[in-house]
Structures are given as C-alpha cells and as structure tokens.
Copies of this chain bind each other. A is one copy, B any other.
Amino acid sequence: MTSLRFVFLFLLTSFSALAQKDYKLWLQYSTVANASISKEYKDNLKGIVVLGNSETIKITQKELKTGFLEMLENVPEIKSELKGENNLIIGSRSNLNSEIRKELQSDFDKINDEGFLIKTISFKNKKQIIIAGKTDVAVLYGVFNFLRLMQTNKSIQNLHVADSPKTNIRILNHWDNLDRTVERGYAGFSLWNWQKLPDFIDQRYIDYARANASIGINGTVLTNVNANALILMPQYLEKVEALANVFRPYGIKVYLTARFSAPIEIGKLRTADPKDPEVINWWKNKAAEIYQRIPDFGGFLVKANSEGQPGPQNYGRDHVDGANMLADAVAPFKGIVMWRAFVYSEHDANDRAKQAYAEFQPYDGKFIENVIVQVKNGAIDFQPREPFHPLFGAMPKTPLMMEFQITQEYLGFSTHLVFLPKLFQEVLESDTYQKGKGSTVAKVIDGTLYQNKLTGIAGVSNIGNDLNWTGHPFAQANWYGFGRLAWNPYLDSETIADEWLRCTFSNDEHFIKPVKKMMIDSREAVVNYMTPLGLHHIMDTGHHYGPGPWVSDLSRPEWNPTYYHKADKNGIGFDRSKSGTNAVSQYAPEMAKVFNNLETCPEKDLLWFHHVSWDYKLKNGKTLWNGLALKYQEGVNQVAEMQKVWNKAEKYVDIERFNEVKMLLEMQQKEAKWWRDACLLYFQQFSGKELPSGVEKPTETLEYFKSLKFPFAPGNG
C-alpha cells in the first residue's frame, strides 16, 4: 500500500500547485534537488547579515528569505552583527563595515551605480560572501543574481563577480490603453487597473516590479505610444503616482507617453506648435506638476507624426523642434525624452524602408542632451527577420536607443513558441561598419562606439493580466531575455535560454539540452514558415494574424503586402539595390556593397534587397521557387520537431505547464501549415511551378485561406 499512496501524493502535489507555477515566472525557487549542491549551499550560508533599512533593503531581505526557504527549505540565521564564518553579508557600500569596504575598494572601482559585487572574502580569517553595490538597488540586483546562481545550481564557493549594466535605460514600453485594451497585446488586458487606482494596489503591481528588478529592468512606460492626453490630467496622474510609489523601491522609474496635441486636448490651447510660448509654458507647467508628484519621474516617450499621431510637423516644425521643446520641459528635473524614429509617410511611395533614415539622419547633433532617439531594430516593423536598421551607427552625435518588440505582433501572437533573444542577438551583433569593422549595433546602443552618455534599450511589452503574464509560458523567456540583454547586450542567447530554463523548469540536463536547442531553433522556424529568404510584411491586415500576401487594396500603398513582396511572373522580392530604391546606400559602404550584390547578399535577406527570378539558383543549388517552398516546409518540420522535443519533456515539468505548451505547439503546427499553404498557393500563381518534392500538398484552397476573417482578433486596438 505504501508505494501506491506515494504515487498518489506525488500526483497531488503537482495538482495542488496549479496556476501558481505559471504565475511565478523564472522565480520558481524550486527546492535544490541535488544533495551535494544543497549541502554546499547550506555549508556556505550559515548566517545572513543584512545592512541598511530602506524599502529596497527590506525587499532584498524578503527575497532572500523566500529564496532560501523554497530552495533550501530553511532560512539561515538572521544576524544583526557579523560573527562566525560562512555568512552572507549584504549591504550597500556606505552600510558596510569599513574593513570590508576597504577590502572591496578595487572591485567597487569596477562597477557603476547600478552594478554589484558578489565576492567570497576572507575576513578576520573567516570565509564570508559579500553582496554589495554603491546603491541599495544595486544590492537588490546582486541578491537576485546570487539567487540565480543558486537557482541554476552553480557553485557559490570562491565567488568573484563584478557586474554592471551596460545601458542606462532598460525599459518596457507598454502599449496599454486607458480602457485596459493593449495594442498588440496577446496576454489578456492591461495590468493597470486605472479604475481602482490610486487606492487599490493590486498584488500584481508588486510582483511585476519584482520580476523586472530580478532581471535589471529599471523603467516602464505605462501607456501606449498611440497616446491619450487624459493620462496627463490630475485624475490620472494621481494613479500614475501610486504606481511609481510601488515601483520605486524596486529601482523602476515610470515614464509616460506624451500626446503632442495634449495642450489643445486637455490644456484648452488653440495650438500645440512647439515654438508657441503658451505651448512651451504649458509643457513646462505640466512637467513641474508631474515632478511634484513623482520626483523621479523618468520622462516622456513620443510617437509623433507617424501613423496619424499628431506632431510638430502639423505646425510646420520638425522632429528636433518637438523633441527639444519637450526635453526642455523635463530637463530641470533630470527627465528625458525618448523620441521615436518610426516614421513613414503615404506621401512618399518610394520605399518605406528608407524613410526613417532619410528623415532622421540629417538631424544628427541637433537634439539637446536629454533626448534619445528610439529606433526599431529594422527599417520596416518588427518582422520575423529584418536587416538591422540603417540608422544604427549613422548618427554619431545622437544617442540612439533600441526598440525591440517582445510582444509577438508579427510572430504568432502568444500562440507560437519563438525565443526572441536569438533575434535580438542577431541584431545586436550586426556590424554596421559605420566606424570601421566591429562597429556593432550593440556598441551603438551601449554608447561605446561614439561615447554617448545616454544609452538604452526598450522592449514593447508582452505582459498582460493572463495568469501566466505572457499568454505562452515560453513567452516569459522573451521578457526575461529582453531584460538580460538590456543589462548586457553582448550576452549569448543560448546562455539566456539556459538560465531561464533552469530557473523556470528544471536543472536536469536531460531536459535542458533538448529544450534549449528547441528554443534556439524556434526563431529560425518562424522565419521559415512565415517569411523565409528576406520576405516581409505579408501578414493579414489590421490584426496581423496569419498570412495575407494577397492583400493589395488598402488605401496606403505601403500598407499592402503586395508592395513588399512584389511577386510577378519574373520573380519575387523588393529591389532595394542601386538599380532599385537604393535603400542599400543608407548603410556604410562595406555593408551597402554586400547587400547590393545578389551574390554576396546573405540569402536570409535576399528578397529584402532584391527582386529575384523564380529560377535563380540558390547556394544549395535549388531554384528560388523550390528553395522558397522547401523553406516553408522546413519551418513546418521544425515545429513538428519542437513538438517531439516537448513531448519528451513531460516528466520534468508540472502537468499544467506541460499541457499548456503542448496545446500551443499543436496550434503552432496548424498555423505554420496555414502560413506555408497560403503563401505557397498564392506565390504559385506567379511562379507557375509545381511544388518540389518534400513539400506537403496544401490542406485547403487559396480561396479558402483568403476567405478567413478574424473579427475579434486581439491586440488590434
């Protein structure tokens, strides 16, 4: 009977944990299963000394207790003074014992205000582990890092870590509307319950701040870039203030989107002209009002004169006028303005990919010092793959921040498992050649290429009020990975996947190895089944759900997929070479040359830069048509492989998350086939060729795929 009962208890434990695990993200703090590692931890952690008493330090202490209790099932003795050996000593520099401070002096010199030290020292001949930083938030970062070492079962003997974030602004952009819909949000609705704020503090606000702090995110833009001026009214500012108060001890600043026409809409002025003295004054007063409530308010994010948003051009002014006027208003309070370079106009039908560069590059050096220009990773719009944006490296006198999209607007919503750090890494590693070889995008972003003081990485959030925060359990890895790369843009995505899997699921190598590979491969899979070989922007209209390469009737030419793929009898692809729109010329000569030449252009970007004959021979010897079709099939096959891998992972994962991922992978498989079939049937009309062997027959007709309608697809707000 005993063994039977044991089985039941085992099953029940996972049942009773329902819903909880999903919610805990990468902070599972699972009990350390390996006895010798557990013993090492216990032996090395006999007491905890926490110095300081700020809110941040209290949070740090709570986190330690939670982590220890859950991972080691006991909490080391908490001491108020240092005695005995094998203690964990935690505190900011100013709170440390002067002898320890002296001992760490050279290490402190290596870190910045947000950086931390984790170091094993011998103090009065006794072994101690110190976690320290110059600020309390840095200490919190150090503690989260230390707990991650334990979560990933690393040795904690002889530690010597000195780590600082490489960018200043590590920020989430929430495209959250005041009615709680989230533009391009696929994980439910906005976390911000404006109705109950400021008086009701939802536990999720705290847990959100905690999760962000654990990966070093230090800012959040609460509102959609397609902005509503009401957020700047006192009625809402008191709610923003309440959130800022929750986030502050976690080192997170709040930012808002500023609707350029706010002086008219809520200020009752007749204009929003950035040169108008009343307008200038209105914004100065508004900034003062905000800082009165929120002394560490981060500043504004602005989308202006883009996709219908108002901006300085409405008054015959330019982006510099607009950005500098707003930056002047927040400058006295050390606020910043993040001004988006995502602009394109229907009045320039030439090549949308060229417009942001054409418009912004000439402004280099004209923005005042608290303006940073926020540039999407590619020149179109968060496609499964884009060549890096030509603005990177091209504005040496202007700080540029990266805008990644964590939410999967064009990558399968929250249904598809796509590990985005692989995409982010590809962009960050790209060499712009703007200051010679090695001028990577990462060096532009972290300011080392041109010695910018203001640096940052923004991620368009994939967070909503779903129980598991992100809709797909693996989409949590994209939030995690974004944070890690914002901290250190040189991190390898494989390292990130490894950390995340261990913290989130299991340290078992039999689980880690195949599932990590699955994650790493997942990004190329989505490119293959959606937009292989440089195709882009061929999704369906509005909601962007599923394929729509046939769409050609939208009012603005550059909204139509046909504008981007230009498939015809002769071939497919957008000619951006010198014989085409010459978009290649926006890159440094070295890259322009590579992209311009059909033979040297990387095949992954082929149809981005070239209109290529259906019979063109790819490097693998296949014709373009056959190669394209086989790529679509490869994507489908890769998803099938992901399913196989996941099915074998069952015993390492709680049943709830296992089933969630299993169901989602089945959907992904269906939708990968939908993409393949719809795109190939459509393009086949032009190529006039049969599908090569190895490519499965379409499951439905082209007419069927064209008839599909999704009236309430989420995120289309």
Contacts and interface: CB of A to CB of B under 8 A. Distances in A.
A82 interface: no
B4 A670 contact: no
Interface string A63-76: 00110011000110
Given A12-B69, A12-B75, A195 B670 contact: no
A713 interface: yes
A691 interface: no
A467 interface: yes
A664 interface: yes
Contact of A711 (B19, B189, B230): B230
Contacts of A16: 66, 69-70
A15 B1 CA distance: 36
A81 interface: no
Contact of A660 (B5, B203, B467, B712): B203
A666 interface: yes
A346 interface: no
A656 interface: yes
Contacts of A292: none
Interface in A191-210: 194-196, 199-201, 203-204, 207
B8 A75 contact: yes
A465 interface: yes
A199 B66 contact: no
Contacts of A467: 23, 203-204, 465, 467
A179 interface: yes
A366 to B, nearest CB: 37
A252 B156 CA distance: 53
Given A66-B15, A179-B712, A200-B667, A1 B195 contact: no
Contacts of A664: 200
A180 interface: yes
Interface in A47-82: 62, 65-66, 69-70, 74-75, 77-78
Interface string A407-451: 000000101000000000000000000000000000000000000
A289 interface: no
Given A69-B12, A204-B467, A465-B466, A189 B199 contact: no
Contacts of A78: 4-5, 8
Most-contacted residue by chain B among A189, A200, A664 (CB, 10 A):
A200
B714 A62 contact: no
Contact of A712 (B4, B178, B186, B200): B178
A666 B415 CA distance: 40
Contact of A663 (B18, B199, B204, B466): B199
A281 interface: no
A20 interface: yes
A699 to B, nearest CB: 15
A711 B235 CA distance: 11
B19 A23 contact: yes
A358 interface: no
A88 to B, nearest CB: 15
Contacts of A200: 415, 660, 663-664, 667
Given A78-B8, A189-B189, A19 B663 contact: no
Interface residues of A, number: 56
Contact of A199 (B19, B195, B670): B670
A9 interface: yes
A327 to B, nearest CB: 29
Nearest to A194: B712
A188 B9 CA distance: 35
A43 to B, nearest CB: 18
A65 B660 contact: no
Given A12-B65, A195-B714, A19 B20 contact: yes
Work out how many copies of this chain go into the complex.
Answer: 2
Contacts of A667: 196, 199-200
Contact of A75 (B5, B75, B77): B5
Given A415-B196, A712-B179, A69 B203 contact: no
Interface in A431-479: 465-467
B178 A711 contact: yes
Contacts of A66: 12, 15-16
Among A70, A663, A711, residue most surrounded by chain B Cβ atoms (within 10 Å):
A711
B1 A77 contact: yes
Nearest to A179: B712
Interface string A644-655: 000000000000
Interface string A4-29: 11001101100110111011000000
A338 B562 CA distance: 50
Nearest to A13: B69
A713 B197 CA distance: 12
Contacts of A8: 65, 75, 78
Contacts of A18: 203, 207
Interface in A153-208: 178-180, 186, 188-189, 194-196, 199-201, 203-204, 207
Contacts of A713: 195
A714 B178 CA distance: 10
A448 B596 CA distance: 85
Nearest to A666: B199
Interface string A230-262: 100000000000000000000000000000000
Contacts of A659: 201
A413 to B, nearest CB: 7
Nearest to A664: B200
A62 B15 contact: yes
Contacts of A413: 195
Contacts of A203: 18-19, 22, 467, 656, 660
Contacts of A714: 180, 195
Top 6 nearest A-B pairs by Cβ distance?
A178-B712, A199-B667, A12-B69, A179-B712, A200-B663, A189-B189
27 contacts: A4-B78, A5-B77, A8-B78, A9-B74, A12-B69, A12-B75, A15-B62, A15-B65, A16-B66, A16-B69, A16-B70, A22-B203, A186-B195, A188-B188, A188-B189, A188-B465, A196-B415, A196-B667, A199-B663, A199-B667, A200-B663, A201-B659, A201-B663, A203-B467, A203-B656, A230-B711, A230-B712
Given A9-B75, A12-B75, 8 more contacts: A1-B77, A15-B66, A16-B69, A16-B70, A189-B465, A195-B413, A199-B667, A204-B467
